[in-house]
C-alpha cells in the first residue's frame, strides 16, 4: 500500500506543512517471471496538468505524483520563496532526493527555493562517517537544480549559493506551473513508455519486456535488443542496468542514451546489434524511485549489497536468474551497472572487483575498457585515471555488490564493472547524461570489435 499526502500550501503569508511516508510490500518475483510482456504504464503528469480552483497568486507545492518528494518547511508569499527539505524517509534510503511541482507562479517573476538537509539520522548506515548522523546537505544540493515545465525537457538553474545550513536557488518562472528537482527525473513509467516506443519504432530489433514485478507490484522494464539472422546462442550477451540506488536519476538517462545510440544507424551500433544480444534495465529500484525515496542503504538491504544467494529484492533475484542463464550458456560478455557517485566526485570512475575477486581475463577486460574510456568517455566528461577496486577496504560486503557477484560467477573474459558518472559538474545535465550513454555504447563496441579490423562493419 502507498500512503501519500498532497501539499496544497499557500493559505496565508507563511504556512508550515510536512508529508507522510511510504511503505508496503508484495510477493517477490520468481525467476520464471522474468521476461514477460510489459503492460503499458501511465505517464507522469506534466507540470501544468490537473488541479482546479487554485489561486494562482498563491504559491502552492504538490508532491502527489510519481517520483514526487519534499517536506515543505514554509512558504513566504511576499518573498515568493519556498523553504523545504528532502522528503525521503531515512529507513528507505539516504534522504537526498527531492522533486515537487510549484503552482501559482507569475510568469517572469523570480522564485527563491531554500533547501536544507533533513535532520533525521541514518542508524542503519554501514559507513562510519554517516552512522547515527543526518546526511550532509552536500548530497541533497547539486550546484544547479533541475527544472521543467512539461516533465519531459529538463533545464538547470543558475548555480545556487550556500548560506549557512541552506542552499538557495533562484529561478525565473516562465509559466504558472513548473517542476523542480534534485536532477532530471526518470520514473518507472517513463522507462516503460521509452521501451514501448523503441519496440514500436524497431519491432524487428527491440522487445519491451518486464524483468519481474517489484515488491509493490510494479513492472521492472527490460529492453532486449538484437538484430539480424545470427542465432541467439551464438551471440555474446551484454547486460546494462541503472538505478539500483533510487536517487541516482542521472544513471537512468545514461541508460536511455546508451539505448538511443544502440538503435541508431551508425556502423558501430549496427555491428553491436548484429553480434550481441543486449539487455537494458533503465530503473532497477522501481518502488523507491516511484515513491521519491533515496534507496541507498534502505532497510533491510541496499539493492547493491543484495547480490547474495537469497536476495531480498525481486529485481535483484530476477537479474541474477537471467544472468545465470546467460553464464550457463557461455554467452556473458559484459555486465555494466550504472550509478552516480558522491557530490565531490568530478570525474567518471569505475568500481571493479578487487584482484582477488577477478579472474586474469576479467582483469584484462577491465584494463582494456579503462584504456578505451580515456579516449571515448573523456570527450563527454573527465575520466579518473585509476579504477576503484571494491574490496574489503571499500566495503566489508563487497562480494554482495552486483559487479563482484557477476565476476565471481562469470567466465574468464567477462567484463564486469560499475560506472560512476558525476552529477555535480557542468556536464551533468539531461543531455550530458544521454551523451555519456552514447559514449559508453561506442566504448563497448571498441571493447568487443576486432581491434585489427579496418572498418566497424567487418
Task: Note whether 212 and 350 are same-domain residues.
Answer: yes
pLDDT at res. 224: 98
Q: Are residues 207 and 273 in the same domain?
A: yes
Q: Is residue 199 part of a domain?
A: yes
Residue 451: its pLDDT value, please? 53
340: Cβ contacts below 8 Å, ≥ 6 apart: 245, 248, 249, 250, 251, 420, 421, 422, 423
In the chain, what percentage of residues exceed pLDDT 90? 83
What are the DSSP calls for 142-178, one per residue? -SS-EEESSSSS-EEPSPPEEETTEEEEEEE-SSSEE
pLDDT value of position 47: 52
**How much of the chain exceeds pLDDT 70, in percent?**
86
Q: What are the two backbone dihedrals, phi and then psi, of residue 132, each rounded to the nearest 5 degrees?
A: 60, 25
Query: CA-CA distance, 172 to 179, in Å (whole number)?
Result: 12
| Opening angle at CA 83, ends 108 and 97, nearest 5 | 100
* pLDDT the model gives residue 314: 98
Among the listed residues 240, 220, 225, 224, the one whose alpha carbon sits nearest the alpha carbon of residue 283? 220
Half-sphere exposure of 307 (CA within 13 A, CB side): 22
Please spell the DSSP secondary structure of 26-43, one letter per residue.
Answer: -PPPPGGGSSEEPPP-PP
Mean pLDDT of 301-308: 97
Whose CA is closest to 423, among 139, 85, 88? 139
Residue 156 has pLDDT above 80, yes or no: yes
Comparing 132 with 242, the larger pLDDT belongs to 242
Look at strands 81-85 and 71-76 and give their pairing: antiparallel
Q: Are 117 and 343 in contact (CB under 8 A)?
A: no
Please state, in angstroms and rounded to a whole number, the distance separating the CA atoms of residues 446 and 49. Answer: 44
Is residue 312 in some structural domain?
yes
Q: Does one domain contain both 168 and 233?
A: no
- Residue 453, pLDDT score: 55
60 inside domain: yes
- Cβ neighbourhood burial of 249 (10 Å; 0-12, 13-18, 19+): buried
Does 251 lie in the same domain as 122? no
pLDDT digits (tens, 9 = 90+) for 72-130: 999 999 999 999 999 999 999 999 999 999 999 999 999 999 999 999 999 999 998 99
pLDDT level of residue 450 (50, 70, 90 thresholds): low
pTM of the model: 0.88
Q: How far is CA 320 from the centre of its chain?
A: 19
Q: 224 phi and psi, to 5 degrees?
A: -120, 125
Shared domain check, 192 and 127: no
Q: Is residue 174 part of a domain?
A: yes
What is the extent of the structural domain holding 250? Answer: 188-448
**Which pLDDT band, with edges at 50, 70 and 90, does 3 fall under?**
very low
456 within some domain? no
Average model confidence (pLDDT) for the chain? 89
* 69/153 same-domain check: yes
Q: Which three cell numbers stand for residue 379?
A: 570527450
Where does residue 133 rank: exposed (0-12), middle (13-18), buried (19+ CB within 10 A)? middle
C-alpha distances in angstroms, 126 versus 122, 129, 301?
Answer: 10, 9, 11
- Work out the pLDDT band at 412, boundaries 50, 70, 90: very high
- The C-alpha atoms of residue 73 and residue 114 are separated, in whole angstroms, by 9
Residue range 332-348: mean pLDDT, rounded: 98
Grid cell at residue 445? 563496441
Same structural domain for residues 57 and 197?
Answer: no
Q: Which single residue is written with the C-alpha cell 582483469?
A: 363
- The string of pLDDT tens digits covering residues 192-231 is 999 999 999 999 999 999 999 999 999 999 999 999 999 9
User: pLDDT-based confidence at 244, cuts 50/70/90?
Assistant: very high
Amino acid at each position: 500500500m502507498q500512503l501519500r499526502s498532497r501539499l496544497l500550501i499557500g493559505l496565508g503569508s507563511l504556512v508550515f506543512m510536512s508529508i507522510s511516508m511510504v511503505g508496503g510490500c508484495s510477493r517477490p518475483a520468481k525467476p520464471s517471471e522474468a521476461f514477460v510482456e510489459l503492460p503499458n504504464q501511465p505517464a507522469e503528469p506534466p507540470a501544468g496538468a490537473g488541479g482546479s480552483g487554485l489561486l494562482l497568486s498563491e504559491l502552492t507545492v504538490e508532491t502527489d505524483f510519481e517520483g514526487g518528494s519534499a517536506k515543505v518547511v514554509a512558504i513566504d508569499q511576499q518573498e515568493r520563496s519556498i523553504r523545504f527539505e528532502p522528503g525521503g524517509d531515512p529507513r528507505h534510503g539516504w534522504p537526498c532526493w527531492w522533486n515537487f511541482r510549484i503552482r501559482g507562479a507569475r510568469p517572469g517573476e523570480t522564485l527563491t527555493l531554500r533547501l536544507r538537509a533533513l535532520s533525521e539520522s541514518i542508524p542503519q548506515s554501514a559507513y562510519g562517517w554517516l552512522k547515527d548522523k543526518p546526511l550532509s546537505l552536500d548530497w541533497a544540493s547539486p550546484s544547479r537544480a533541475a527544472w521543467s515545465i512539461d516533465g519531459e525537457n529538463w533545464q538547470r538553474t543558475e548555480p545556487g549559493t550556500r548560506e549557512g545550513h541552506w542552499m538557495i536557488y533562484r529561478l525565473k518562472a516562465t509559466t504558472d506551473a513548473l517542476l523542480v528537482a534534485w536532477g532530471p527525473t526518470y520514473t518507472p513509467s517513463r522507462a516503460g513508455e521509452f521501451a514501448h516506443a523503441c519496440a514500436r519504432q524497431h519491432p524487428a530489433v527491440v522487445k519491451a519486456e518486464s524483468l519481474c514485478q517489484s515488491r509493490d507490484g510494479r513492472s521492472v522494464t527490460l529492453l532486449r535488443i538484437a538484430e539480424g539472422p545470427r542465432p541467439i546462442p551464438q551471440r555474446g550477451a551484454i547486460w546494462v542496468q541503472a538505478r539500483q540506488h533510487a536517487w541516482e536519476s542521472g544513471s537512468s538517462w545514461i541508460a536511455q542514451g546508451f539505448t538511443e545510440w544502440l538503435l541508431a544507424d551508425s556502423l558501430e551500433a549496427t555491428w553491436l546489434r548484429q553480434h550481441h544480444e543486449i539487455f537494458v534495465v533503465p530503473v532497477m529500484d522501481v518502488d523507491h524511485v516511484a515513491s521519491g525515496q533515496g534507496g541507498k542503504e534502505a532497510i533491510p538491504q541496499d539493492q547493491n549489497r543484495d547480490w547474495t544467494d537469497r536476495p531480498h529484492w525481486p529485481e535483484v533475484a530476477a537479474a541474477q536468474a537471467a544472468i545465470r542463464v546467460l553464464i550457463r550458456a557461455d554467452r556473458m560478455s559484459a555486465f555494466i551497472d550504472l550509478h552516480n557517485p558522491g557530490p565531490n566526485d568530478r570525474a567518471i570512475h569505475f568500481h571493479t572487483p578487487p584482484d582477488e575477486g577477478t579472474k586474469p581475463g576479467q582483469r584484462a577486460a577491465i584494463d582494456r575498457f579503462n584504456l578505451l574510456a580515456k579516449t571515448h568517455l573523456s570527450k563527454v566528461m573527465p575520466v579518473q585515471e585509476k579504477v576503484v577496486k571494491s574490496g574489503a577496504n571499500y566495503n566489508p560486503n563487497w562480494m554482495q555488490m552486483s559487479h563482484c557477484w557477476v565476476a565471481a560467477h562469470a567466465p574468464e573474459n567477462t567484463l564486469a564493472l560499475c560506472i560512476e558518472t558525476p552529477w555535480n559538474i557542468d556536464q551533468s545535465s539531461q543531455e550530458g547524461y544521454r551523451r555519456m550513454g552514447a559514449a559508453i555504447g561506442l566504448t563497448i563496441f571498441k571493447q568487443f570489435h576486432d581491434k585489427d579490423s579496418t572498418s566497424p562493419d567487418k
